[in-house]
Amino acid sequence: MINWRTDLEFLTEFGLFVAKAVTLVVALLVVLSALISAAQKGKGEQEPEGELRVKRLNDVYRKLHESVRAKMLGAQARKAWEKQQKKQHKAEQKEEKKKANLKSEDPEPRDKPRVFVLDFDGDIKASETDSLRKCITAVLGVADSERDEVVVRLESGGGMVHSYGLAAAQLDRIRVKGLSLTVCVDKVAASGGYMMACVADRIVASPFAILGSIGVVAQLPNFHRLLKKNDVDVEILTAGEHKRTLTVFGENTEKGRKKFQEDLEDTHVLFKDYVGERRPGLDVSAVATGDIWFGRRALEVNLIDEIKTSDEYLIEACERADVISINYRHKKSLPEKLGLAASGALEHTVMRLLSVFRNQKIQ
């Protein structure tokens, strides 16, 4: 029989001890980060720039297949097979090096087209837009509009209108250059995420990916009655009739609410027009209700063009093209690294505590 009181007391005391320890570590890291940041600013150092990372996915998938195949062979057969593979890879590298060293005014034409793979994992502010912009600029400088393709693995539940409007405009640059654009959605492309996805010539989604949510929402709390109850006045001065419609602390009026709603409706119209222009075969009026659809249902209403995961699409692409992944990553400064370390430690501690408590309940 388990003494639940003792167990809970132990967990509570242990949790408090860990929380105090983590709090102390986080506080020390914050102070250290602030000191380092101040020292860097004092020296006039610039923020670290990022770097472009290029990876050939054909090699990545081939190594995965070879790894499984090697494990399935016996010891002698695996040794002979690995020796053969090394010899073959060496010959391929020698041939590639030979081609790279050829200097001619009329370079040898490429055997295969190229598929450039970009990634976008969107938050509410579409923070990765700057990295996406740099990747697109790099691709447009080398891509052949007649042969090459761009694939964007997109994951986003949407966010700020202006932020996602800019992100979608970056994808529009690809279409303007005449390059084929495919968007792959494995989990979600809703609201602003779908605004980006609809730019593509083709949208591919997994069976239970979430798509749609073509609508606009805004909400804000209002503390006017609470402040008024405590005799607190808030002065809001504006120049311009509609400079402020709804506010957090002031008294909201029906006129202000009406104007705010009109702005939302206008934004919704712009959203629908944007989607309709890029997917002319879509009945926008039927899907622009703010509803979401899972992959198979999204295919039925023409929000997407095919049911397939990004892995399936890219592995198939490797058979016909050189598939190249391009990512731009900002180099993190020391204060940022320390902050991430503290955040990771806190998250790990909380998850461990929840896991321990859950296991105790199961027993």
191 is catalytic: yes
**Which of 156, 163, 180, 191 is labelled catalytic?**
191
243 is catalytic: yes
**Which of 43, 103, 243, 285 is labelled catalytic?**
243
Per-residue 3-state assignment (H helix, E strand, C coil) for the chain:
CCCHHHHHHHHHHHHHHHHHHHHHHHHHHHHHHHHHHHHHHHCCCCCCCEEEEEEEHHHHHHHHHHHHHHHHCCHHHHHHHHHHHHHHHHHHHHHHHHHHHCCCCCCCCCCCCEEEEEEEECCCCCCCHHHHHHHHHHHHCCCCCCCCEEEEEEEECCCCHHHHHHHHHHHHHHHHCCCEEEEEECCEEECHHHHHHCCCCEEEECCCCEEECCCCCCCCCCCHHHHHHCCCCCCCCCCCCCCCCCCCCCCCCHHHHHHHHHHHHHHHHHHHHHHHHHCCCCCHHHHCCCCEEEHHHHHHCCCCCEECCHHHHHHHHHCCCEEEEEEEEECCCHHHHHHHHHHHHHHHHHHHHHHHHHHHHHC
| Active site (catalytic) residues | 191, 243
